[in-house]
């Protein structure tokens, strides 16, 4: 492609800004990033409270987030935030120790079995499912892998492995197939609690590509990255470093592709480009673009999570001493309940606590936002950390994906072929 190709990038979140960075590194400087909000970062959103930033979206990273590290190096920044830790409660608000054998004598057999299954999982992922962790979903439904390795170098890799077809099935079924059911006890924390849905509905490919073995082990060992000025700071720094920072408050009303060009109407003015990169939700692309019938059909298959976040104040005496996971509430029958709540700073109680909940499941009616919000507030009372005031709230369009039937039929390859 000619280095002067004029490129439009829709979206100033991590994907759109990273696209600009990688284009620059390849010598493509003629790009424009259009962001409809008044700030960059997307779901990495870190507002201020009493002079410090808290998180309304993404919270942390781990050392195997190599693409994020690319951005850090490009910007000359590092992960310099507070060290996080967590504890666990049951649905009744009692502190529990689910992974400590000496504090759960009756659970020792299960914990020993779980440990063996985690070891077995690591083995089969490296052997039976070689290529499972390659970046991207291209070819998986056909028993192929093609993309970039999960390594600091991200070298291109490709190959064939018929077993990869298994990754189309829901993760719960995949675990049963491979007799590693108990690994779900570990993977559920950084998956379901982080807004990615439930193991009985989400294809194993999504679970294992996001939480490849090394990434999940980093979460287990609390080997975490945070940023003093929040996850949004990463993308603010990148935006400042780019030759062409995102144009904020850019409202796109029309995208039309004709005669080998792309015409984008933004804030009432039409601009001409050679290429288009869309990092905003494809599901909504037909609402403003000249989508073809086949595009509309495939994009309509995309589902997403309704992931709700509250930032609340508590009275000093009700403030939690640490962050808590509530595993009991991470199952479909507890849809809408509080799954995790975070305390970011150790040195003060004068801060907000952020809560996280899901309210959509494939086989259930969507819980209305206000109803879910009340459930979370009631759960905080049960946890003995009641909210005294709501400071901020957000319902995210989160984790666009397709379900098992569409994944297995080759959705990604069909869309790629377009």
C-alpha distances out from residue 164 to 104, 135, 206, 216, Å: 37, 14, 12, 20
- 133 closest CA partner among 162, 173, 164, 175: 164
How is residue 409 written in tokens?
A: 């039929």
Element (H, E) at 71: helix 66-75
Query: Looking at residue 269, what is its pLDDT?
Result: 98
DSSP secondary structure, 237-300, as one string? HHHHHSSS--BSS--EEEEEEETTEEEEEETTEEEEESEEEE-S-GGGGGGTB---HHHHHHHT
pLDDT for position 293 = 96
Q: Yes or no: say if 145 and 157 are a contact pair by the CB < 8 Å rule.
A: yes
* CA nearest to 253, candidates 22, 2, 36: 36
From the list 117, 119, 116, 99, the residue with the least C-alpha distance to 108 is 99
Q: For domain 99-221, give its CATH number from 2.60.120.260, 1.10.405.20, 1.20.1250.20, 3.90.190.10.
A: 1.10.405.20
pLDDT confidence of residue 191: 98
Tokens of 275: 């290429």
418 residues of the chain, pLDDT tens digit each? 999 999 999 999 999 999 999 999 999 999 999 999 999 999 999 999 999 999 999 999 999 999 999 999 999 999 999 999 999 999 999 999 988 877 777 788 999 999 999 999 999 999 999 999 999 999 999 999 999 988 888 899 999 999 999 999 999 999 999 999 999 999 999 999 999 999 999 999 999 999 999 999 999 999 999 999 999 999 999 999 999 999 999 999 999 999 999 999 999 999 999 999 999 999 999 999 999 999 999 999 999 999 999 999 999 999 999 999 999 999 999 999 999 999 999 999 999 999 999 999 999 999 999 999 999 999 999 999 999 999 999 999 999 999 999 999 999 999 999 8
Element (H, E) at 210: helix 204-210
Domain segments of the chain as ranges: 7-49+229-280, 99-221, 303-401
Closest CA to 232 of 6, 13, 7, 3: 13
Question: Which CATH entry fits the domain spanning 303-401: 3.30.70.1990, 3.40.50.970, 3.30.70.1150, 3.30.365.10?
Answer: 3.30.70.1990
What CATH topology corresponds to 7-49+229-280?
A: FAD/NAD(P)-binding domain (3.50.50)
- Note the pLDDT of residue 78: 97
**Helix (H/G/I), strand (E/B), else coil: 235:** helix
């Amino acid at each position: 492609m000619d280095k002067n190709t004029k490129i439009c990038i829709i979206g100033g979140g991590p994907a759109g800004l990273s696209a600009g960075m990688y284009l620059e590194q390849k010598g493509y400087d003629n790009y424009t990033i259009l962001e409809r909000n008044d700030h960059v970062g997307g779901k990495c959103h870190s507002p201020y409270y009493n002079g410090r930033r808290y998180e309304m979206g993404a919270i942390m990273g781990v050392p195997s987030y190599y693409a994020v590290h690319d951005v850090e190096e490009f910007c000359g920044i590092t992960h310099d935030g507070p060290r996080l830790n967590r504890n666990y409660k049951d649905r009744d608000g009692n502190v529990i120790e689910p992974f400590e054998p000496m504090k759960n004598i009756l659970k020792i057999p299960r914990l020993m079995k779980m440990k063996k299954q985690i070891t077995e999982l690591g083995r089969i992922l490296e052997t039976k499912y070689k290529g499972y962790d390659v970046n991207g979903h291209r070819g998986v439904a056909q028993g192929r892998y093609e993309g970039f390795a999960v390594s600091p170098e991200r070298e291109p890799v490709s190959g064939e492995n018929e077993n990869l077809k298994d990754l189309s099935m829901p993760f719960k079924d995949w675990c049963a197939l491979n007799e590693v059911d108990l690994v779900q006890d570990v993977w559920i924390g950084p998956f379901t609690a982080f807004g990615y849905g439930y193991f009985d509905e989400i294809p194993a490919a999504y679970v294992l590509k996001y939480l490849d073995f090394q990434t999940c082990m980093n979460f287990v060992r609390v080997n975490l990255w945070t940023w003093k000025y929040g996850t949004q700071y990463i993308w603010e720094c990148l935006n400042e470093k780019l030759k062409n920072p995102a144009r904020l408050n850019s409202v796109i009303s029309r995208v039309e592709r004709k005669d080998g060009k792309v015409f984008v109407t933004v804030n009432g003015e039409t601009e001409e480009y050679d290429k288009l990169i869309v990092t905003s939700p494809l599901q909504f692309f037909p609402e403003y673009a000249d989508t073809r019938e086949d595009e509309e059909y495939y994009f309509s298959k995309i589902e997403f999570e309704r992931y709700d976040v509250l930032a609340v104040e508590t009275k000093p005496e009700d403030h939690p001493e640490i962050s808590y996971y509530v595993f009991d509430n991470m199952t479909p029958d507890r849809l809408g309940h509080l799954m995790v709540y975070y305390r970011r700073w150790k040195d003060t109680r004068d801060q907000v606590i952020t809560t996280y909940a899901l309210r959509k499941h494939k086989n259930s009616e969507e819980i209305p936002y206000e109803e879910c919000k009340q459930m979370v507030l009631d759960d905080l009372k049960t946890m003995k950390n009641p909210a005294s005031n709501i400071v901020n709230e957000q319902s995210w369009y989160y984790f666009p994906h397709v379900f098992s039937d569409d994944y297995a039929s080759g959705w990604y390859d069909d869309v790629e072929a377009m």
